[in-house]
Chain A
Amino acid sequence: MVSHLPPKDRDVAMVFQNYALYPHMSVADNIGFPLKMAGIAPAERRTKVAEVAGLLGLDGLLDRHPRQLSGGQRQRVAMGRAIIRQPSVFLFDEPLSNLDAALRVQMRREIKLLHHRLGATMIFVTHDQVEAMTMADRIVVLRNGRVEQVGTPDEIYRRPGNTFVAGFIGAPPMNVIEGTAALLQQGAVFMPTADPKLAIDLPAGARKLPEAAFLGIRPEDCVVQGKARTAELEGRVRFIERSGPETQLTIALGATGGLSLITVNWDGQRHAIGDPVRLRLPADRLCLFDRDGNLLSESAC
């Protein structure tokens, strides 16, 4: 436990959201400051600063002051100051949130490469789920200071522990439908509260059916079919959002249209608003949650 140790003795380095660079010091002095405080001789300090600057592409900027740097460069100086101490743990407090989109993608890659090169534990705080998904080995989802779920990005995405995680991770988020599950003659089905006539088939092995209160499915798992064949649910396209490689469709289901699902299409199918479509929800992709929103059966996912 390091709770009662002074910050300097915890072997932790931190990159602040606002970088917290020392404005009266040059880049070299900023990066070398932890070594100076550790009483390391100037000559050795210079060598190490040059080494770290090379690693981060800051070679030509060592004599500048923070005010003369761009956002991305400041970010790198802040990382350099953290790296140079070779700590056991790095804390990154939303370090990319102040950068523009392109730079953010670039720095994301650089931090990940750095992580592989240094091999030290990095704790990275972010509100950006893309950052979380792409960078993490393990994700801890927090809400109001409480841990909602711990797992690999894949686990978190495929088997969200509760409806909060299901809605929080993923863009667009997982479709979560309120309703009840029952075992009928043809097998287990889920009947949405908004339109109980829409019976969604559940997998054969689904357990604890009486407790089920929410059904979740990822948009990209919904299979949109044309007008033909053995589709399960009928609906109409209500809204279309194209983002290039993919197309998001908001589909109003059933006769009343009281229930909408978001789907993601990759195959370039052309749809227009108002088109009738049929939707198949593969049973092996469904998640069931209880009344409190907690995941019921992993087998259903």
Chain B
Amino acid sequence: MAHSLGSQILRTAALAVLGMIVLFPVYWMAVIALTPTGFSRSLAGIFPQRITFENFAMLFSERPMLRWIGNSIFVAAASSFLSLAFGASCGYALSRIRFRGSGLVLILVLATQMMPATSIVVPLYILFRDFGLLDTMQGMVLGHISLVAPLAIWMSKGFFDSIPADLEGAARIDGCSRLSAYWHVTLPLALPGLAAIFIYGFVTSWHDFLFAKTLINSQSLWTAATGISSFRGEYFTLHELQMAAALVFALPVIVVFLIMQRRIVSGALAGSVR
């Protein structure tokens, strides 16, 4: 059909243009990263004139990029995992157990999300200074948990709400305690949701610059986000190195997403109840 063929071509073209607009910054990042150090300002076209990997080599040989990436992975994994464990248990309790003040707890948790991170970073700094948590990995993890946990609680409450309580009732009649019903029935069904929370937590922690810059001083404890910013000097910026670092910085998040996204499948609940 001519009509549908024409509209299909149009749609494909529109998608292609949109894709190029979205992906161009990433492409440009790659072009600069592959240009020899100091030459990015003399780029004439949109293609790299001479491709080199020396920026990447320099990142890992002359700068502690590997260490920064390692720190970032540790902080992001630990804070998202702990937020997940904390959020899932709170969310489960708020979803399943009726107790006085549960609504208030939810609202208070939400209220913490209403304040911008910039407004809590100073009180957090003072608190951490008093507890001796400044410039430590534990402090960093704790700081990121405070960013991620509130949403983890809300999201997991939503996921648990969507799992019929009858399933747990059935499990308890079938011989489970409350805890084993949670373990055998509710938790496996909540996995797609929990995976989404983990990804959210990982990405939030990974991208955080404010807390990382404020709570950590020692270069050996920097996360990659702080590391990348260090290429920007007072008088000049090492664009090529910075872009190479940014590319390396993006990889772990993509890997985590690809691993976890398989868990996010819809229709996991189909067939359980009518």
Q: Which residues of A contact B (CB under 8 A)?
A: 6-8, 10, 12-14, 16-24, 33-34, 37-38, 65-69, 71, 74, 81, 85, 98
Chain B residues, CB < 8 A from A85: 174-175
Chain A residues, CB < 8 A from B176: 8, 37
B274 contacts A23, CB within 8 Å?
Answer: no
Residue of B170, B173, B175, B274 near A71 (CB, 8 A) is B274
A34 contacts B169, CB within 8 Å?
Answer: no
Chain A residues, CB < 8 A from B180: 37
A33 contacts B272, CB within 8 Å?
Answer: no
Most-contacted residue by chain A among B169, B171, B177, B180 (CB, 10 A): B171
B166 contacts A16, CB within 8 Å?
Answer: yes
B220-274 contacts to A (CB < 8 Å) = 267-274
B172 contacts A6, CB within 8 Å?
Answer: yes
A23 contacts B173, CB within 8 Å?
Answer: no
Q: A16-B166, A19-B273, A20-B273 are in contact. Are A37 and B267 (CB under 8 A)?
A: no
Give A16 to B175 CA distance when docked, in angstroms. Answer: 16
Most-contacted residue by chain A among B268, B270, B271 (CB, 10 A): B271
Q: Is the CB of B59 closer than 8 A to any CB of chain A?
A: no
Chain A residues, CB < 8 A from B174: 8, 33-34, 37, 81, 85
A8 contacts B177, CB within 8 Å?
Answer: yes
Give A17 to B170 CA distance when docked, in angstroms. Answer: 11
Q: Is the CB of B73 closer than 8 A to any CB of chain A?
A: no
Give 17 pairs: A residue, B residue, CB < 8 Å, sorted on A: A7-B173, A8-B174, A14-B169, A16-B273, A18-B164, A18-B274, A19-B274, A23-B268, A33-B171, A33-B175, A34-B175, A37-B180, A37-B184, A65-B271, A67-B270, A85-B175, A98-B274
Q: A34-B175, A37-B180, A38-B175 are in contact. Are A14 and B170 (CB under 8 A)?
A: yes
Q: Looking at the assembled complex, report how far the CB atom of A79 sits from the nearest CB atom of chain B, in whole angstroms.
A: 12
Residue of B167, B175, B270 near A22 (CB, 8 A) is B167
Residue of A37, A74, A98 near B175 (CB, 8 A) is A37
Q: Is the CB of B106 closer than 8 A to any CB of chain A?
A: no
B269 contacts A23, CB within 8 Å?
Answer: yes
Q: Looking at the assembled complex, report how far the CB atom of A26 sits from the nearest CB atom of chain B, in whole angstroms.
A: 11
Q: Is the CB of B30 closer than 8 A to any CB of chain A?
A: no
Q: Is the CB of B195 closer than 8 A to any CB of chain A?
A: no
Chain B residues, CB < 8 A from A37: 174-176, 180, 184
The 6 A-B residue pairs with the shortest CB-CB distance, nearest first, are A67-B271, A37-B175, A66-B271, A18-B273, A23-B272, A67-B270
Q: Is the CB of B155 closer than 8 A to any CB of chain A?
A: no
A68 contacts B271, CB within 8 Å?
Answer: yes
Q: A33-B174, A37-B180, A81-B174 are in contact. Are A20 and B271 (CB under 8 A)?
A: no
CB nearest neighbor in A for B168:
A20
CB nearest neighbor in A for B165:
A20
A21 contacts B175, CB within 8 Å?
Answer: no
Q: Is the CB of B137 closer than 8 A to any CB of chain A?
A: no
CB nearest neighbor in B for A71:
B274
Q: Looking at the assembled complex, report how far the CB atom of A262 sits from the nearest CB atom of chain B, in whole angstroms.
A: 35
Give A20 to B176 CA distance when docked, in angstroms. Answer: 15
Chain A residues, CB < 8 A from B273: 16, 18-21
B189 contacts A23, CB within 8 Å?
Answer: yes
A7 contacts B167, CB within 8 Å?
Answer: no
Give A37 to B170 CA distance when docked, in angstroms. Answer: 12
Give A71 to B172 CA distance when docked, in angstroms. Answer: 23
Q: A8-B174, A8-B177, A24-B188 are in contact. Are A16 and B169 (CB under 8 A)?
A: yes
